[in-house]
Structure 1
Amino acid sequence: MLSPGIIDKLNQQINWEVYSSHMYLQMGAWCSYKSLDGCAMFLTQHADEEMAHMRRLLKYLQETGALAIIGGMEAPPTEFSSLVAMFDKIYTHEQFVTSKINELVHLANTEPDYSTLQFLQWYVAEQHQEEFLFKSILDKIKLIGTEGQGLFLIDQEIGKLVSNPGALEATSNSATAPQA
């Protein structure tokens, strides 16, 4: 049985995952409006992944006999001054989500709730991958630049992450892969 504190924090995390999904959907809509189709497809796919993260939390609460509560949330931003600003916002948001997962892990470890601690390890690894992915996208944008054909090239590069689903995993796993 989960403690009320763990249940509360898991429900908060459910809502952060839903917000993340809505944020990525909105950002994808903005990219589509700006004719950045590769970015739009990538962010839409990422919105789906965030909902899968939410469903995983929801299922865990249900399996433990706790009530999952999906609350209201603030609407995500709709305008961005640039693609760099938008991806900066994503990177900052993912760092925030990581801090929330870390708080959950700390609480589960402190109580101790080893079942929840084990369950959360997937999220710890996932957040590492998320931060690495968005930091690498920002690095590529800064490397290529957004002047002239740069924006087109960036959109194409990010679009490749969608057309090859394994590319998302390969990009995020390269940080932990052994060097030859």
Structure 2
Amino acid sequence: MISHTMLEALNRQINRELYSAYLYLSMAAWFSAENLPGFANWMRVQVQEEQFHAMKFFDYCAARGGRLTMLQIEAPPNTWDSPLAVFEATYAHEQKVTKMIYDLVDIAAKEKDHATSNLLRWYVDEQVEEEENDTDILGKLKRVGTDTNALLMLDKELGMRVFTPPAPAGSSGQGAP
């Protein structure tokens, strides 16, 4: 059974992951309105990732006998000055999420909750990937500057992204899930 302290912390994190999905959905809407469908697609895939993260926490808590309470999701911003500003906000947000995950790791250690510590290792690795993706796109956007053709090429590139759920733990990634 999961401790009350750990359950409450994970419950808050589920809310934060759902907020992240909502934030990225807002960004997708902004990109759609700016006629940048590839950027919008990239954010829609990000929405799916964040929902997956929330459900991974949700399922874990349920499997450990925890009863979760859904919290109100804060409204995200809905306007930005430029694609660069969106990705600066995305990167700053992911840095905050990384800190939240690290805080959960600290709570799990204090609670001597080895099972949750094991789960959180996946999230630590995931945050490294999230921040790397954001810094990659930020670098490209900075190189693009005001070159509209380059921005449209980047839009096309980002339109190729698809959501691929991670393989279950212990899976070789081969064959059916």
Letter in 2 for 1:139: G
Equivalent residue number for residue 6 of structure 2: 6
Deviations 1:91-111 (A, max 9, x none): 000000000000000111122
Ranges in structure 2 where 5+ consecutive residues have no aligned partner = 167-177
- 1:48 is matched by which residue type in structure 2? Q
- What is the letter of the counterpart of residue 124 of structure 1? V
Instruction: Specify the code of the residue in structure 2 equivalent to 1:81.
Output: D
Which residue of the partner structure matches residue 62 of structure 2? 62
Map of 1:157 onto structure 2: 157
CA distance in 2, matches of 1:146, 1:152: 11
Task: Report how far residue 153 of structure 1 moved.
Answer: 2.0
Give how far 1:155 is off.
1.1
**Deviation of residue 8 (structure 1)?**
0.9
Matched ranges for 1:108-127 at <5 A: 108-127=108-127
Q: Give 1:92's aligned residue.
A: 92
- AA matched with 1:127: Q
The alignment partner of 1:149 has SS state of helix
Identify the range of structure 1 (58-67 vs 137-146) with the bigger mean alpha-carbon deviation: 137-146
Instruction: Say what the alpha-carbon RMSD is for the aligned residues.
Output: 1.5
Q: Secondary structure at the match of 1:69?
A: coil
Alignment TM-score, normalising by the size of structure 2: 0.88
Partner SS state of residue 49, structure 2: helix
Q: How does 1:16-55 map to 2 (within 5 A)?
A: 16-55=16-55
Identity of aligned residues (%): 38
TM-score (norm 1): 0.87
Q: Distance in 2 between matches of 1:89 and 1:126?
A: 18
Determine the C-alpha separation between the residues in 1 that align with 2:117 and 2:140: 35
Partner amino acid, structure 1, of 2:38: G
Query: Take 1:69 and 1:49, find their aligned partners in 2: how far apart are those partners?
Result: 21
CA offset at residue 70 of structure 1? 1.6
Q: How many residues align?
A: 165
How far apart, in 2, do the equivalents of 1:108 and 1:41 lie? 35
Distance 2:148 2:71 in 1: 44
C-alpha separation between the residues in 2 aligned to 1:127 and 1:75?
23
More helix by share: 1
Report the 3-state secondary structure (helix = DSSP H, G, I; strand = E; otherwise coil) of the residue aligned with 1:160. Answer: coil
Alpha-carbon shift at residue 148 of structure 1 (Å): 3.1
AA paired with 1:132? E
Q: Structure 2 CA distance, aligned partners of 1:74 and 1:111? A: 29
Q: Using CA pairs below 8 Å that are at least 6 residues apart, which structure has the higher relative contact order?
A: 2
Work out whether residues 15 and 73 of structure 2, in 8 Å CA contact, stay in contact via their aligned partners in 1: yes
